[in-house]
Every structure is written in C-alpha cells, then in structure tokens.
C-alpha cells in the first residue's frame, strides 16, 4: 500500500475520512465491510491496473511454474482443465496472498494426516 492516501495523511485524519466514507455507504455496503472486518478495509487503495494482472512479475512466474507442472504432471489434461484456478493459486502463493497460503497449509496438513495410498481414508 505504498501509494495509498494512508501514507500521505496522519492516522487521525485517515480514520476520520474512513469513518465518513463508511457512514455515507448504504447499509448493504456497510454490512459487506463489517463482514470482512472494518479494520482490514482500506477505502483509499488505488484501483489496480488490469494490465498488471497479466504482465506483472508474479503472473509471469506463475505461467512459468504452471508450464513446468503441466510438462511433468501425470494428470496433465485434468490439471489443464483447471488452469485458471491453478494460475490464481500459484500467483497468490508468489504474492503471499492469505487465501493461497491457507490452501497450501491445508494441503500440507492433509498430506501428513492422510496417506495418498489410502485416498483419504484413515
């Protein structure tokens, strides 16, 4: 969040503006913010450039990783049918996104608790 308005104004002013934006929102919008956590919400984040999605370094790295995975995978055709989901997941791992980290942690946990040979049956 290096270029957000948060870095440009003091904390008190930031909170005052944030509260004003929140209070001017519809009830439905407020509920959406409260559901994700008011403290996690930053209304001043600049919109992302849509070109960043395809041409950013994490996206390029994800493409390369997936290409290597598809080349060596025993389930290549099946895996390719989930290319979009895999791309988002790998890109998220590279960027350190919470969703991808949690999915990865679950996969590691699952592998340690359930042997691949018994297909998840303990």
Q: Out of 6-10, 27-31, 107-111, which region has the weakest mean confidence (pLDDT)?
A: 6-10
- Provide the mean pLDDT of the chain: 83
pTM of the model: 0.49
CA distance 92 to 94: 5
Read off φ and ψ for residue 6, nearest 5 degrees: -55, -35
Confidence of residue 120 (pLDDT cuts 50, 70, 90): very low
Query: What long-range pairs does 3-8 form, CB within 8 A, spacing at least 24?
Result: 3/46, 4/42, 4/44, 4/45, 4/46, 5/44, 6/42, 6/44
CA distance 63 to 55: 10
State pLDDT tens for residues 64-92.
Answer: 999 999 999 889 889 989 999 999 999 99
Q: What is the pLDDT of residue 119?
A: 56
Q: What is the mean pLDDT of residues 41-55?
A: 73
What is the per-residue DSSP string for 68-100?
HHHHH-TTHHHHHTTHHHHHHHHHHHHHT-HHH
Confidence of residue 14 (pLDDT cuts 50, 70, 90): confident
């Amino acid at each position: 969040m290096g270029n957000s308005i948060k870095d440009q104004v003091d904390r008190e002013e930031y909170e005052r503006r944030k509260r004003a934006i929140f209070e001017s929102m519809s009830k439905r919008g407020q509920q959406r913010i409260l559901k994700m956590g008011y403290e996690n919400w930053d209304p001043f984040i600049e919109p992302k450039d849509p070109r960043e999605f395809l041409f950013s370094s994490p996206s390029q790295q994800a493409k390369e990783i997936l290409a290597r995975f598809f080349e060596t995978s025993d389930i290549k055709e099946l895996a390719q049918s989930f290319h979009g989901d895999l791309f988002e997941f790998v890109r998220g791992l590279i960027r350190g996104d919470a969703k991808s980290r949690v999915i990865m942690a679950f996969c590691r946990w699952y592998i340690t608790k359930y042997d691949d040979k018994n297909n998840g049956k303990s």
